[in-house]
Amino acid sequence: MKNKTEGPLSGVRVVDLTTIVSGPVATMMLADQGADVIKVEPPGGEQMRQLGTPQPVGMTGIFLSCNRSKRSICVDLKSKKGKEIIRKLVKTADVFVQNFRPGAANRIGLGEADVRRIKEDIVYVSISGFGEKGPYSEQRVYDPVIQALSGLTDIQADQETGVPKMVRTIIPDKTTSVTAAQAITAALFYRERSKKGQHIKLAMLDTMIAYLWPEAMSVLSFVGNEGDPKKGSLGLDLVFKTRDRYITAGAISDSEWQGMCRVFKREDLISDDRFSTARARAMHRPERLEIMSQEIGKWDSEELLSRFREEQVPSAPILDRKELLDDPQVKENDIIQVFDGGHLGSIRQPRPAAQFGLTPSTVRSMAPILGQDNKDILEELGYDLSDIENFQDEQVIHEDVTDKSERPS
């Protein structure tokens, strides 16, 4: 499938040299919004093609879900001709994104200064783990390392034992992706007004601390009068067992707490000094949660959630990842859609979350097979068929051997 409707970023070309998740998801968001994102991969492809549950289609589910809507060119950047191809590609680009370790882009001749000499007004993006300087800057980094350093594992610590815990999904990587995509569009807007490109530097560590601060670290805001972050957290472990399943429910405002008490037929708790105000409820949180757990355990989930909705008490069933596919609100929003992926088969993906009224943001194609678009991209750069054949013979460019008639479109 290939959706050719114009998105808000139609006409923007992005050269994407990123790998793993933080960079690829950022550029995928731009591609869903209409940008022509050209993923540049080394011979053999980037390692995410092999990570995850193996599939006989040249990619895994995680690679597909981080790289849809893009085109692929596979170039040996160690070769002189390979570097020349990328330099020509840069001349046509608006944005250049890389997430090499600091200094690596410079060593291959694609640092910010190198790229800007080719295209003066380009938006150049450097995504790193820790930043370009400092004691950790040269270290390899994956999501759990940033979880550990950013305070996230402390936030997730077991409330009884204090043992730190990881979030069992990659939060820093994906938060960095969203931050990068927003920063790129802001830089493009500035360039539209000033005719000047700029260098965006973004570290996963910086992103995650900024992301966590507003709620989980805000008690550290007042210098000299810091609170205890462990006590200042909202402590959102609101998981309760009904007679038939787990749910979540919470009551922050007075009206929500009063509504919850009415559902429980425990109006006595409304006037109880321990729970009569938001501050009192926070101070007596253990007792409050114990009462909530006891009362919720007396109900079947469907009836209880219905009563909570009537009283405007925030609540929901706790769904497993397969259950959510059939949730009525998920269906109503048409969040998860099924696409024809050609030889990949039927592919399920969430649509882009931001829906534009005039310029649709949509899944424009499946993730590309390695080197799938070599010929088209090289022809756009002015190379003829004999040049392309020479590049193939000299192994300057590479491609997956998948039958071209079966490739995703």
| Residue pair 8/33 in contact by the 8 Å Cβ criterion | yes
- Residue-wise pLDDT tens digits, 153-171: 999 998 889 899 999 999 9
Element (H, E) at 191: helix 171-194
User: Residue 208: is its pLDDT beyond 60?
Assistant: yes
Q: What is the pLDDT of residues 99-134, one digit of tens each?
A: 999 999 999 999 999 999 999 999 999 999 999 999
Q: What mean pLDDT do residues 308-337 have?
A: 97
- Range 352-364 average pLDDT: 95
Q: How confident is the model at residue 1 (pLDDT cuts 50, 70, 90)?
A: low
* pLDDT bracket for residue 89 (50, 70, 90): very high
With a cut of 60, say whether residue 406 has pLDDT above it.
no
pLDDT beyond 80 at 252: yes
Neighbours of 189 (CB within 10 A): 10
Dist CA 234 CA 267 (whole Å)? 25
Q: What pLDDT, on a 0 to 100 scale, did the predictor assign at position 405? A: 46
pLDDT of residue 234: 54
Longest CA–CA separation in the chain, Å: 85
| pLDDT for res 305 | 98
Task: Measure the CA angle with vertex 393, ends 389 and 394; round to 5°.
Answer: 115
Q: Model pTM?
A: 0.93
- In terms of Cβ atoms closer than 10 Å to its own Cβ (0-12, 13-18, 19+), residue 123 is buried
- Is it the case that residue 351 has pLDDT exceeding 70? yes
Nearest CA among 183, 204, 208, 18 for reference residue 99: 18
Rounded average pLDDT over 145-150: 98
What are the structural domains, with CATH classification, of the chain?
13-212+332-406 (3.40.50.10540), 240-317 (3.30.1540.10)
- Residue 122 has φ and ψ, to the nearest 5°, of -70, 150
Does residue 303 or residue 55 have the better pLDDT?
303
- pLDDT tens-digit map of 23-38: 999 999 999 999 999 9
Cα end-to-end distance, the chain, whole Å: 5
| Contacts for 374 with CB less than 8 Å, ≥ 6 apart | 72, 73, 74, 388, 397, 399
What does 224-289 look like in DSSP terms, one character per residue?
TS---HHHHS------EE-SSSEEEE---SHHHHHHHHHHHT-GGGTS-TTTSSHHHHHHTHHHHH
Rounded (10°) angle between helices 22-32 and 171-194: 50
Given a cut of 70, whether residue 409 has pLDDT beyond it is no
| pLDDT level of residue 403 (50, 70, 90 thresholds) | very low
Say how far apart CA 12 and CA 191 lie, in whole Å.
12
Are 236 and 180 contacting, i.e. CB atoms less than 8 angstroms apart?
no
Q: Could you tell me whether strands 246-249 and 315-317 are parallel, antiparallel, or unpaired per DSSP bridges?
A: antiparallel
Enumerate the H helices of 73-131 as residue ranges.
Answer: 80-91, 104-107, 112-118
pLDDT band for position 372 (cuts 50, 70, 90)? very high
Poorest-confidence range of 83-92, 249-258, 310-319, 396-405?
Answer: 396-405
The set of residues, in sequence order, having a beta carbon less than 8 Å from that of 267 and lying 6+ positions away, is 261
